[in-house]
Amino acid sequence: MAFTLPDLPYAHDALASLGMSKETLEYHHDLHHKAYVDNGNKLIAGTEWESKSLEEIVKGTYQAGAVAQNGIFNNASQHWNHNLFWEVMGPGEDKKMPGDLEKALVEAFGSVAKFKEDFAAAGAGQFGSGWAWLVKDADGALKITKTENGVNPLCFNQTALLGCDVWEHSYYIDFRNKRPAYLTNFLDKLVNWEAVAAKL
């Protein structure tokens, strides 16, 4: 199935007052994400993956234990990752966390504050490029994970509830090399908690 670049669910300047500039979204969505879509389409053309769903491609091309993943996986997974990333952010100054999500986070991590602390630490501690995740395991337990490059929770049969891109192109324009500040801002100002709760 051909990859398609989705429109952002908000205007390019909608998150500027919250710490993610129009310039960042123009580079990150319009150029970086588009490159994963275009390259992915070229790589799957004429292969067994051409008619598969995006999720099937990610799961089917992931190579556990590989030092480096293959090109089809890298582009497909990054397309999937970014689709989720745009969905879990949103405009608006006062984003309330739904009660069911808050309860689940308190049960899993002790408090919402501790969840945010641990999530930010996972993202800051990911060496090089990658992602920080809030996932639901097959047994229903919530966990914080981090992955290198484009690897994502689909590879481990987990459900991704929240993902934060910690590749430098996601934050360098707005935060330079201050990844921890970017992560704190993401959690405090950018996350659309209703979108996260809907994935529970």
Bind-site residues for Mn(2+): 28, 82, 165, 169
Binding residue numbers: 28, 82, 165, 169
Single-letter residue type at 119 = F
Start-to-end CA span in the chain (Å): 27
Those residues whose C-beta lies under 8 Å from the C-beta of residue 135, and which sit 6 or more positions away, are 142, 143, 144, 145, 153, 156, 158, 159, 160, 161
Beta bridge partners of residue 130, listed in sequence order? 148
Interatomic CA distance for residues 115 and 124, integer angstroms:
14
Residues whose CB falls within 8 Å of the CB of residue 25, separated by 6 or more in sequence, listed in order: 8, 12, 13, 15
8 A C-beta contact, residue 145 and residue 135: yes
**HSE value, Cβ hemisphere, 13 Å, CA-based, for 126:** 27
